[in-house]
Chains A and B, each alone.
Chain A
Amino acid sequence: MNRQGAGVVVLAFLAAVPTARAEDARKLLVESEARHRTKSQQYAGDLTVVAKDGKVRKKAWRSWREGYAGDAKLLIRFHAPPEVKGVSFLSLGRPGKGPDQWLYLPSMKRERRIATQDRDASFVGTDFNYEDMEEFDQSKFAVSLKGDETADGQVCWLIEARPEENAGKSLYEKKLLWLRKDILFGVRQDVFRKGEKEPAKRLHLSDVQQVEGHWVAKALEMTDLKKGSRTTILLQELAFDRPQPAGRFTLQNLNREGGED
């Protein structure tokens, strides 16, 4: 979802539009996408998973993204701890459909496809699942403006997004998005599983800064409201619009060992 934050759930929203235009959620999202679109993004991420019982697990990865929303390509390679070094994840967006996703395991020297059915599975033991790893594409959702609300001290638009039936299966019935009115940047998202009235998970985007002229949240925290666990990702060494080598986002490259790209 979130192209800024870690290749993990991220929302791109428009700048504040305080007048009657704000009622048009679609326009807000389209404008946000146009404003925050970047050709590429890369960073080093530190991931911390805190279980309900307080048990902490840490991992570190490098992430590269090319494209945006429905046509985004994402490659992640883990480099710590040593037990998971070289494990890689590739996601190739398909316009109008769910993306193709693969996980590469160096111990077996082979990639394995993440099936559509598996999108609910935890992504590498975090509170994100594989669907959460997809870029948010507003064109796959029916959206409506629900008003405005304050989140993290910022006045935000509250937008409800429901997956379109013809845009591929989704685990969720709806998502609630909070966009800062001033920069149209998403700072919170609640996701609701099918048939449930309470949100299953909540994503907070914080430490929002400008890097190379782009707004970006350098800290993401996904909380599983049922399990009581949370996953934090801290983004470092952020860079935008760097040219990506040809073939980086391919299965051949995914299967390349060493973890360096």
Chain B
Amino acid sequence: MRFLLSTLSLSYATRNKAKTFLTLLGVVVGVATFSAIRGAQSTLVGGIRSTVDRMAGKAQLQIAMEGGVPEELTETIRELPGIRSQSPVIEQVVVPERGELGSILVLGVDLLGDREMRDYSFEGDDADLDDPLLFLAQPDSVAVARPLAKRAGLKIGDPLVLKTSRGLRTVKVRGLMTPKGFAEAFGGNLIVMDVFAAQDLFARGRRFDRVEVRLADGTTLEEGTRTIEKAVGPAYRVETPDRRGAQLEKLITNFVAGFNISSGFALGIGTFLIFNSFAVAVNRRRRDIGTLRSLGATPRQVMLLFLVEAAVLGLVGGVLGLLAGASMSQSFLKLMEQTSEQVFGIINASEAHIDGTLAVQSVLLGLFASLVGAWEPSRAASRIPPTEAFAKGSFQAKRGPLSKPRVIGGLALFGAAIAFTFRPPFGGNPLILMVMGLCVASVAMLASPASQALIDRVAPFAARISPVAGRLAADSLMANPRRTSGTVIATTISIGFVLGLGGYMGSTKASMLRWMHDVLTSDLYVRASANFTNPDSRFPASFREELAALSGVRSVESYRGMRITVDGEPAMLGTIEVPLMMKRVKHDFLQGNDESMLRGLSERGEVGVSDNFHRLHRAGVGDKVTIATPSGTVSFPIAAVFRDYTNDRGTIFMDRSVFLRYWKDDRVDTYDVNLISGADIGKVRDEIRVLVGGRMPALISTKREFVSEIGKAVDAFYSLVRITVFLALGVAFLGIVTSLLISVAERTREIGILKALGAVRAQIARSVALEGVALAVVGYVLSLPIGLLIAYFMETTVAEVFAGWRMPHQTPWGLLTELAIALPLVSALAAFVPARPAARTKVTEAIEYE
């Protein structure tokens, strides 16, 4: 075997460096994408937990409430039995004016007593922090973690400018912390300041983000939780840091699920690339195989030879892919972190790393993908009879197995994929893998006969386009079905994935844009915070009257959103003056109607729920939603179900009056300002700016700007999927290019014969390019049903399983057009480039090729 490897395999690899490199590249891209996404994903999830744990320090319980914990709560729990200590906390991620320093986590703590919760390590020149009086007396005092101070070149007494919701604010470094324990959280990009100064800096009013509790010796977590819950009421969450970390993880479940799908896609395409490369390699080396068989090699030995080659390629590709993935994962992680912060308000900053398990998994996946890809070609190679192997050109002309069982089997698999799409027997990742696997298998079985049938019909057209080059291309396509089908399959599967993912994203965005067009109909939106889901500041309720008093303003609505838990699952609560909102909003109702919504919410204290809440919680009109409020646990009847894309975990809407009655918190996230007809929007906006100037942070957007900003948040959510689509597209093109390069190389002998018969170089190059275009068109046409099925599967089944949404299908015309233009161009180029040197080869050399 060693002899065979060194003489046959190594010699082939040396003679065909470009092809070997491209095959290797397939493994590398697949493994790199997989390991980068998985590495970033696990770091993100682990980082969230780690940040929560490290920040919590010795705290055993955390008390939190949406909208913040009022200061008075600390008095309520101060004297409770079993409480050893308590400490209020404010947590805020800020961007410094010097953007190159990255996001910084500012932790506001009560420096007088926080050492009970966290270990501080102040050493060296930071003795000033040993004077807490000076630190406390100056509200701009901060202690900076040393790694950050080092990168920023900060020392005691230096100013640091931070971008806050109130504009640029300067803080002064009055202490340095050695990274240890909690100071390592957020990747060491951490600043500590006094919690009361943080309240002012970040416009928290008289509230904290949470209160941390350490229990007295002998008090169990259950006892402590029970005691606190009894004292503070059901509106507060009393949970361990670990549970809080788990809850945060839950919030990003759907976001993370997208990565699994993306990495699966990347690996799937990579595997097929290998399959294709090996299939062509086997075809090219059939004379070698024939020689081996004549010299006594058994079919088993031949198969083993190719599998060992694949294993070597897989291992090398796996290791290289792992290295490439490790370097890519930090960029992916940054993207994920930005999204998790922007969309979910979850903070994290970690250095991406690929742990040992993932490294082994990645290399093994490269190996496995290579073996899977090479299995069938290896089997085919082992079965080539020596006589056939030595007959030049006979194999290429041989038609692939067009057996009925193969076609029926392929159709059955595709039918099963459709059936699972419309009636999924189970959910989650297994369902996705099942449907994708069925799609790939069906394409593998059907693409060859389908492409042959298509080529038989397309080829004559090529002959009509160009009398010489076109006829040559048509003859070649029809005469070499086995070779061409490989390229077609590569194109079909790759473009199918791209169309599926891209189509899904297109439908999702189009649905959301349409929904925003129906719902966001106010003229101006005045927001207190740039963060949509977890605002870091809010307006006082009284501000509504001031806005309403401005000339040109017809009405003002007060929107307040809040993250809540229903049946242990996270959900969103949206509150607004429903009668006012109903006058301008057009809802798409699944259950109920405008009348039941208006009367139910504004007169009977009921709630409306989003379509995804309805599906995720199996609750509709006639059911009740139970919510823990500061006034106790309340069951709200559902008055209507309507399409809504506010939150991927479901949204409950109630009238503001009901919210105020139960929550007794009148602060507002966003004022929706409606103007009288003909009012000058710019002028009213300027007046609002004057009104808020210096008093409170405010972002004032027109309808168009607001929709655009939300659109950006949606884009952020799908940013990584979008990258994966591009990667898949890249891999798809790589597959096509590989196939065509190998295909052209295979035709060297044929090209020599053509030259001998009088064909000129340009004609040969054009014919090869034309052939490439024809192959791309066939692959493109065949990819349409598979791509649209995948898109539909994602829009309905997958979206519903994860988020409860069913996205109305939108045919991705834009993407289809782009691919229709790009694909033939890339294919023509991929065929033309190697065809030119092939056409220059001497006739005698070319005829002897193989």
- Asked if A pairs with B, the answer is yes
Residues of chain A having any CB pair with chain B under 8 Å: 49, 51, 53, 55, 57, 59, 78, 83-84, 87, 103, 105-108, 110, 112-118, 120-122, 124-125
Partner of B134, one of A84, A110, A116: A84
| In the complex, B86 has a CB within 8 A of chain A | yes
The 8 Å CB contact of A112, one of B84, B112, B134, B200, is B112
Contact A118 B113 (CB under 8 A): yes
Cβ contact within 8 Å between B127 and A103: no
Residue B196, interface by CB 8 Å = yes
- Chain B nearest CB from A103 CB (Å) reads 7
Contact status A115-B137, CB under 8 Å: no
* A125 in contact with B200 (CB, 8 Å): no
Q: 24 interchain pairs (CB within 8 A)?
A: A49-B131, A53-B127, A83-B138, A84-B133, A87-B136, A87-B137, A106-B137, A107-B137, A110-B196, A112-B112, A114-B112, A114-B113, A115-B112, A115-B113, A117-B85, A117-B86, A118-B110, A118-B113, A118-B116, A121-B115, A121-B132, A122-B132, A124-B131, A125-B134
Q: Could you tell me how many residues of chain B have their Cβ less than 8 Å away from some Cβ of chain A?
A: 24
- Decide: A107 and B131 in contact? CB cutoff 8 A: no
Q: Encode B130-149 as 1/0 by CB contact (under 8 A) with A.
A: 11111011110000000000
Determine chain B's interface SS by DSSP, over half rule. helix
User: Are A105 and B196 within 8 A (Cβ)?
Assistant: yes
Q: How far is the CB of A170 from chain B (nearest CB, A)?
A: 14
Which B residues are CB-close (under 8 A) to A125?
Answer: 130-134
Q: Is the CB–CB distance between A83 and B86 below 8 Å?
A: no
Hey, which chain A residues are within 8 Å of B139, CB to CB?
Answer: 105, 107-108
- Are B133 and A55 neighbours in the complex by a CB distance under 8 Å? no
Q: Contact string, B74-116, partner A, CB cutoff 8 A, digits 1/0? A: 1000100000111000000000000000000000001011011
How far is the CB of A257 from the nearest CB of chain B, in Å? Answer: 13
Closest Cβ of chain B to A227, distance in Å, is 9
Which partner residue on chain A sits nearest B135 by CB separation?
A: A125
The number of A-B residue pairs with CB atoms under 8 Å apart is 69
The residues of A that contact B251 with a CB separation of less than 8 Å are none
Quick one: given A55-B127, A115-B78, A115-B85, are A103 and B112 in contact (CB under 8 Å)? Answer: yes
Q: Is the Cβ of B133 less than 8 Å from the Cβ of A87?
A: yes
Q: Tell which of B84, B112, B131, B133 touches A118, judged by Cβ atoms closer than 8 Å.
A: B112
Instruction: Name the distance in Å between A151's Cβ and chain B's nearest Cβ.
Output: 29
Contacts of B113 in A (CB 8 A): 114-115, 117-118, 121
Contacts of A83 in B (CB 8 A): 134, 137-138
Having A113-B74, A124-B133, one finds 12 other A-B pairs with CB under 8 Å, namely A83-B137, A84-B133, A87-B137, A107-B138, A108-B196, A115-B112, A116-B85, A117-B86, A118-B112, A118-B116, A122-B130, A125-B131
- For B136, give its contact among A51, A105, A117 (CB under 8 Å): A105
How far apart sit A57 and B137, CA to CA, in the bound complex (Å)? 15
Min CB gap B631→A, angstroms:
27
The residues of A that contact B131 with a CB separation of less than 8 Å are 49, 57, 124-125
B112/A108 in contact, CB under 8 A:
no
Asked whether any CB of chain A lies closer than 8 Å to the CB of B639, the reply is: no
B197 CB → nearest A CB, Å:
7
Contacts of B136 in A (CB 8 A): 87, 103, 105
Minimum CB–CB distance from A121 to chain B (whole Å) comes to 5
Q: Are B127 and A51 in contact (CB under 8 A)?
A: yes
* A114 and B127 alpha carbons, distance in the complex (Å): 22
Query: What are the nearest 9 A-B pairs in CB distance?
Result: A125-B131, A118-B113, A117-B85, A124-B133, A118-B112, A84-B137, A107-B139, A117-B116, A121-B112
Q: Which residue of A lies closest to B117 (CB)?
A: A117
Name the residue on B nearest A120 (C-beta).
B115
The winner among B130, B137, B196, B214 for most chain A CB atoms within 10 A is B137
